[in-house]
Amino acid sequence: MRKLPSDFELAIPALMPHGFLVQLARRSRLLLCLDYDGTLSDITPDPSLAFPVDGIRESLTRLVDASNHLTIAIVTGRTIAQGRQLLGVSDGLIYSGLHGLEMLQQGRIRVAPEAAVAASELDLVRRWIARNVPGSQGFQVEDKRFAVGVHYRCADPLIASAIADSFVQFVAASAPALKVMRLKMLVEAIPRVASKANAVAAMRRTAKQPCVTVFIGDDTTDEEALAALGDGDVGVLVGPARPSRAGYRLPSPTAVAAELRALTEYFEHA
């Protein structure tokens, strides 16, 4: 099994061999942590239409029946409510939302108490957006209560770049309790405590032991979670090749669907 690169040894991950998750499942119980956008769904101009690619929903529904051998966690930057609605699978899955700020525990969504401290600063960001982001021209504001961001995939690149840079500068100067996440055509202000690494750590505490943790994600914020993996765990980057802490790469959400389908078939015929 490939050792994950350290913070100072980012490398281009090797393509993950087909059936590799099955190989892991033959040796150990798995904690399978899955990002949503860009991992289970394609990136779409309208985030509300980012439904899972073909086969994902069916495989996850069937994998829930293998709970003695596998725990599945959805670790997303969306709210849990958004993620559950789009994915269409709730029963049997663990959810973390807003980059670890939200956790679904015993049927209730719990929010990190530190998030409330940043409420007034998020209001400052909302007012800045109202003054500085055009209500049209391809921009889309997304307010998740404990995070607020601006999508600019459909905006003019020059205007979008200037507004994104100004957004980052405003948050840095005026909202010390917040940080800016620069995602795929999205800048988002969120409490500094938010971290997918914290989410994965919480998942590992609740999972049955022993297990191998597998984290699959596509974006820069997923690198935090990849850095938190231990020896013997596996990180998988989804999308085009780039330097990453992941040990392996899958080219697309469709490839993720194929690996989940293979894992489903293994458990159903084991």
Q: What CATH number should be reported for the domain holding residue 164?
A: 3.90.1070.10
Residue 221 pLDDT greater than 70, yes or no: yes
Q: Tokens for 115, please give them.
A: 């998030």
pLDDT in tens, 144-162: 999 999 999 999 999 999 9
Q: Residue 9: what pLDDT?
A: 66
Do 26 and 103 share a structural domain?
yes
Q: Which residues contact residue 58 at a Cβ distance below 8 angstroms, ignoring those fewer than 6 apart?
A: none
Q: Same structural domain for residues 123 and 184?
A: yes
Q: Read off the pLDDT of each residue in 25-41 and give the average, rounded to a whole number.
A: 95
The residue-averaged pLDDT of 169-189 equals 93
Residue 168 has pLDDT above 70, yes or no: yes
Reported confidence tier of residue 233, pLDDT bands at 50, 70, 90: very high
Which residue is associated with the tokens 């601006």? Answer: 150
pLDDT digits (tens, 9 = 90+) for 38-92: 999 999 888 889 999 999 999 999 999 888 889 999 999 999 999 999 999 988 8
Mean pLDDT of all residues belonging to the chain: 91
Average pLDDT over residues 114-127: 92
Q: Judge whether 4 lies within some domain.
A: no
**Is-above-0.85 flag for pTM?**
yes
Look at the alpha carbons of 205, 68, 29, 39 in this order and tell me if their dihedral is positive or negative.
negative
- Compute the distance between CA of residue 229 and CA of residue 246 in angstroms, rounded to an integer: 10
The string of DSSP codes covering 110-156 is EE-THHHHTHHHHHHHHHHHHHHS-SSTT-EEEE-SS-EEEE-TTS-
Residue 6 is assigned to a structural domain of this protein: no
pLDDT tens for 91-107 read 889 999 999 999 987 78
d(C-alpha 24, C-alpha 47), whole Å: 33
Cis amide leading into 176 (omega within 30): no
In a domain, 145, yes or no: yes
* Distance of alpha carbon 241 from alpha carbon 252, whole angstroms: 11
Question: What is the amino acid identity at position 74?
Answer: I
pLDDT value at residue 202: 86
Number of structural domains in the chain: 2
Please say if the pLDDT value at position 206 is more than 80.
no
* Mean pLDDT, rounded, for 246-252: 97
240 in any annotated domain: yes
Q: Among the residues of the chain, which ranges form H helices?
A: 20-27, 56-63, 80-87, 114-117, 119-132, 157-174, 196-206, 222-227, 253-269
Final residue before a domain boundary, out of 191, 224, 250: 191
Same domain, 21 and 106: yes
- Amino acid type, 46: D
pLDDT at 8 over 70: no
